[in-house]
């Protein structure tokens, strides 16, 4: 009996201690403040339909950049339409182009950048979009339509945009960099990442050499190549999507990145910051397009229209982090907070220093040759 009472007493004490613990730590083992912070997370912008459509047997194949869509968005599309999405990824425009141009594979939706759209239009690798089937194009800010690469706004549906710049660790780069020169600074030897993307990295080397980032002048390109060769001993690795985890983990002090990846990294780490250097940079536009040999054009249009829906584009922005051209989605996500980001909404002064890549025709080979030499010796 005594033992039972002792056990009862122990149980009562345990319950009281647990109750106090729950009060102090918000009931889930985390301090109350953190629990409250978690509650402040955004509610989802779009949700799975309660009664998903039965699968129709129809499929679309989507070929997009790595880590460039919220997979839940695809789940919602499938549940709403009954169309199954076969999803594949690429790392650079050049990889994607090589696959499409070679033939043999067929995609219904691809997401090239500006200069690659220009090239694919010229080479008749894209088909015009039937805007009647993409009513949500009304959500796209007209500032992002009729761009130089698709002046008649016939082939490309704006998806994201951004700049190239420097992502740096404020704990190890004590003075905020304002110049690309940091990419040649011995102090950061084996402490920097460069983009494993031929056009992008060569363009920055051109700018660093004082040349136009669309240059096709052989001497300019020789300067860019020599600069990249000189820089190689300082480079820890040439990477694409891996840069995000690596910079968040503090593996290097500085990286050449696309702005959306900077936004993501800065949301995960307080010690990272982003700058577009004073010498100027690239502004890019990635758009959804339908290849000439798409098998399911109507499915492609449904998918593109779905991606332009305000709730879906807002949800996708929350995950991807790249600036979006979708006015309705920005409103839904929170225009004030969105516009306050100098990374995704750079001041005009910064934009004035940025240029879009042009398709350089046959001269594209010059860039490819330089890049092969740089990468193959690494
Ligand atoms: N995670 C992939 C992000 C793709 C960004 N596109 C950049 C285009 C540069 N021309």
Q: Which atom of ligand 1 lies nearest, measured to the CA of 282?
A: 10
Answer with the residue of higher pLDDT: 156 or 13.
156
d(CA 128, ligand 1 centre) in Å: 23
Alpha-carbon distance of 226 to 187, in angstroms, equals: 20
Q: Which residue has the least CA distance to atom 5 on ligand 1?
A: 258
Rg (CA), the chain: 24
d(CA 144, ligand 1 centre) in Å: 17
Whether residue 292 is predicted with pLDDT greater than 60 in this model: the reply is yes
User: 67: which 2 tokens?
Assistant: 């880590």
d(CA 344, ligand 1 centre) in Å: 14
Give the global pTM.
0.89
Kindly give, in sequence order, each residue whose CB lies less than 8 Å from that of residue 313, ignoring residues fewer than 6 positions away.
139, 307, 324, 326, 328, 329
- Which of 258, 263, 281, 284 has the most ligand 1 atoms within 8 A of CB, as the residue to mutate? 258
Domains of the chain (ranges plus CATH)? 59-161+284-343 (3.40.190.10), 163-283+353-376 (3.40.190.10)
Write out pLDDT tens, residues 169-206.
Answer: 999 999 999 999 999 999 999 999 999 999 999 999 99
Closest to 259 measured CA to CA, from 208, 324, 178 = 324
Give the CA distances from residue 367 to residues 125, 163, 332, in Å, rounded to whole numbers and listed in that order: 22, 20, 41
Find out whether 289 and 156 touch, Cβ atoms under 8 Å: yes
Whether residue 37 is predicted with pLDDT greater than 80 in this model: the reply is no
Alpha-carbon distance of 297 to 288, in angstroms, equals: 13
Give the CA distances from residue 247 to residues 113, 172, 239, in Å, rounded to whole numbers and listed in that order: 24, 12, 11
d(CA 257, ligand 1 centre) in Å: 9
Q: Is 113 in the pocket of ligand 1 (CB under 6 A)?
A: yes
**CA 277, chain centre distance (Å):** 20
d(CA 337, ligand 1 centre) in Å: 23
Q: Which atom of ligand 1 lies nearest, measured to the CA of 115?
A: 10
Q: Is 200 in the pocket of ligand 1 (CB under 6 A)?
A: yes
Sheet containing 59-65: order of strands? 84-90, 59-65, 109-110
Question: How would you classify the pairing of strands 281-288 and 157-169?
Answer: antiparallel
Q: Is 264 in the pocket of ligand 1 (CB under 6 A)?
A: no
Dihedral angle over CA of 212, 217, 223, 229, nearest 10: 100
Find out whether 262 and 167 touch, Cβ atoms under 8 Å: yes
Q: What pLDDT score does 105 carry?
A: 84
Q: Which residues pair with 193 in a beta bridge?
A: 237, 255
- Going through the chain in order, the beta strands assigned E by DSSP cover 59-65, 84-90, 109-110, 126-127, 157-169, 192-195, 235-239, 254-258, 272-275, 281-288, 290-291, 354-355
Question: How would you classify the pairing of strands 157-169 and 254-258?
Answer: antiparallel
Answer with the residue of higher pLDDT: 31 or 255.
255
Q: Is 68 in the pocket of ligand 1 (CB under 6 A)?
A: yes
Tell me the CA end-to-end span of the chain in Å, nearest whole number: 78
Q: Which residues pair with 354 in a beta bridge?
A: 281
Answer with the residue of higher pLDDT: 114 or 38.
114
d(CA 114, ligand 1 centre) in Å: 11
Q: Which atom of ligand 1 lies nearest, measured to the CA of 114?
A: 10
d(CA 50, ligand 1 centre) in Å: 34
User: 85: which 2 tokens?
Assistant: 């999405």
Environment class of residue 190 by beta-carbon count within 10 Å: exposed (0-12), middle (13-18) or buried (19+)? exposed
Whether residue 1 is predicted with pLDDT greater than 60 in this model: the reply is no
d(CA 284, ligand 1 centre) in Å: 8
Whether residue 259 is predicted with pLDDT greater than 50 in this model: the reply is yes
Q: What's the whole-number mean pLDDT along residues 130-151?
A: 98
Q: Which residue has the least CA distance to atom 6 on ligand 1?
A: 286
Mean pLDDT of the chain: 91
Q: Is 301 in the pocket of ligand 1 (CB under 6 A)?
A: no
Q: Is 317 in the pocket of ligand 1 (CB under 6 A)?
A: no
Q: Check residue 272 and report its DSSP letter.
A: E
Q: Which atom of ligand 1 lies nearest, measured to the CA of 65?
A: 2
Q: Is 242 in the pocket of ligand 1 (CB under 6 A)?
A: no
Whether residue 118 is predicted with pLDDT greater than 90 in this model: the reply is yes
């Amino acid at each position: 009996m005594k033992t039972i009472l002792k056990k009862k007493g122990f149980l009562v004490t345990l319950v009281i201690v647990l109750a106090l613990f729950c009060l102090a730590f918000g009931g889930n083992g985390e301090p109350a403040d953190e629990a409250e912070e978690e509650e402040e997370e955004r509610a989802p912008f779009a949700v799975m339909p309660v009664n998903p459509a039965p699968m129709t047997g129809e499929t679309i194949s989507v070929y997009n950049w790595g880590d460039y869509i919220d997979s839940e968005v695809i789940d919602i599309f499938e549940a709403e339409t009954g169309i199954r999405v076969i999803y594949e990824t690429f790392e650079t425009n050049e990889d994607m182009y090589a696959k499409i141009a070679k033939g043999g594979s067929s995609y219904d939706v691809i997401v090239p950048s500006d200069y690659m759209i220009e090239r694919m239009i010229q080479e008749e690798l894209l088909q015009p979009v039937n805007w009647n089937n993409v009513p949500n194009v009304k959500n796209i800010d007209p500032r992002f339509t009729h761009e130089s690469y698709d002046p008649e706004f016939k082939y490309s549906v704006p998806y994201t945009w951004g700049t190239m710049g420097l992502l740096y660790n404020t704990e190890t780069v004590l003075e905020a960099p304002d110049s690309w020169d940091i990419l040649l600074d011995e102090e950061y030897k084996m402490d920097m990442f460069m983009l494993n993307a031929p056009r992008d990295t060569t363009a920055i080397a051109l700018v660093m050499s004082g040349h136009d980032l669309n240059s096709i002048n052989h001497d300019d390109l020789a300067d860019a190549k020599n600069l990249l060769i000189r820089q190689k001993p300082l480079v820890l690795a040439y990477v694409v999507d891996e840069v995000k985890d690596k910079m968040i983990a503090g593996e290097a002090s500085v990286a050449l990145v696309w702005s959306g990846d900077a936004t993501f990294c800065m949301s995960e780490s307080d010690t990272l910051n982003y700058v577009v250097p004073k010498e100027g940079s690239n502004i890019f536009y990635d758009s959804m397009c339908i290849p000439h040999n798409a098998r399911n054009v109507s499915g492609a249009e449904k998918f593109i229209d779905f991606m332009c829906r305000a709730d879906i584009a807002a949800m996708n922005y929350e995950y991807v982090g790249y600036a979006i051209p979708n006015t309705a989605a920005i409103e839904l996500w929170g225009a004030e907070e969105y516009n306050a980001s100098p990374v995704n909404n750079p001041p005009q002064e910064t934009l004035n220093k940025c240029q879009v890549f042009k398709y350089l025709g046959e001269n594209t080979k010059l860039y490819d040759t330089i890049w092969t030499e740089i990468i193959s010796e690494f």
